[in-house]
Every structure is written in structure tokens, then in C-alpha cells.
Copies of this chain bind each other. A is one copy, B any other.
Amino acid sequence: MPAPSRTSIAEIVSAGRDLLESGGPAALTMQKVAQKVGVRAPSLYKHVRDREALLSAVSAATIDDLAECFAGSEESLDSLFRAYRAFAHRWPEGFRLMFSPGAPLDSLERASEPVLAAARDLAGAEALEAARLMTAWATGFIHMELAGAFRLGGDVDHAFEYGLEHLRAGLER
């Protein structure tokens, strides 16, 4: 009666991320995840409470990747937000999942720590407000961009740089 694990939580989460990115949330199915890790669907419940918990785990793994991404970027606000946008382009579904109800808020807070640190250099006592303002702007910008909501009027890259510059300037003062 040994019965060693034929899969692992890490493998399951990784399979979930693949399915999510390639077909959206509807494609992340317990049955497809099971097939990908070489097991039957009921076995997944030995490793994960239910589909919702798996989605949370996928969200947390994505946020951890974002934190790593921040760690590998320069520490200026501009660099951090450019890295944020590049990350969202590489993992659009994961990005959306990060801000869904049920997202792991602790991880999100931890990942945004470098932004807060950079804001402290710029805005001193109002660092928290400044960090929130820029984070809200970037998050909304990317959301709208991913939804295809920027249709009239030119270069989206340029619009992002425009926003970055104006916000930084407005907060320096």
C-alpha cells in the first residue's frame, strides 16, 4: 500500500497556467489539467481542494513570477512599470486573474513592495499615495489595452510613456 504520488501540486499548477494562457479561464478544466499531468480528474482532489483553489494557486504563482520580474529590473519607477506592462503582455490571462475576486492579496502586497520603495525616493511622506496612484493608472491602462479599448489615436507604447512621464513629473514636485 505505498502508492507514491504520480504527480505534484507544482506540476498541477504549471499545467493550469498553460491551459489558462492558451485558452482563457474556461479552458482550465479539472479534466484537462488531469490529462496534462497524466492522471484522472478525481485524483487532483488529493492535491487541491477544488477548482477555485487551483485558480488561486495559479494566481499566486503568477504573482510570484511578477515579483521575480521586479527583482530583475532596475529600481526606478519607470523601469518597474515598464516591467509590469511587459509581464502583463507575456501573461495576459494570468494578469487578469491577479485582480479577480479570490486573488491572494498577501502575495500581491508583497510583490508591489519594490514599487513602494521606489515611490519613497520620489515622494517621501506621500509615498503610499503616489505608489497607489501610479499602480492604479498602470493597472487600468493595461486592462484597457488588453481588452482592446485603445482604438482611436495612435501608438499605445507612446501613450504609456506619456502617462509614465506626466505622472512621475506630477508627483516629484
Contact = CB atoms under 8 A, between A and B. Distances in A.
A150 B163 CA distance: 22
Interface stretch (A30-38, A71-79, A126-134): A126-134
A166 B167 CA distance: 9
8 contacts: A24-B101, A128-B152, A133-B167, A135-B140, A136-B141, A136-B163, A140-B141, A140-B143
Number of this chain's copies in the assembly equals 2
A170 B101 CA distance: 32
A9 interface: no
Contacts of A143: 99, 139-140, 143
A27 interface: no
B136 A99 contact: no
A137 interface: yes
Contact of A135 (B144, B147, B151): B144
Interface residues of A, number: 37
A133 B170 contact: no
A170 B166 CA distance: 7
Contact of A132 (B101, B105, B150, B171): B150
Nearest to A128: B153
B99 A144 contact: yes
Given A99-B147, A105-B151, A140-B141, 8 more contacts: A101-B148, A103-B147, A128-B152, A133-B162, A136-B163, A139-B143, A139-B144, A169-B170
Interface string A68-111: 00000000000000000000000000000001110101001100
Contacts of A147: 99-101, 103, 105
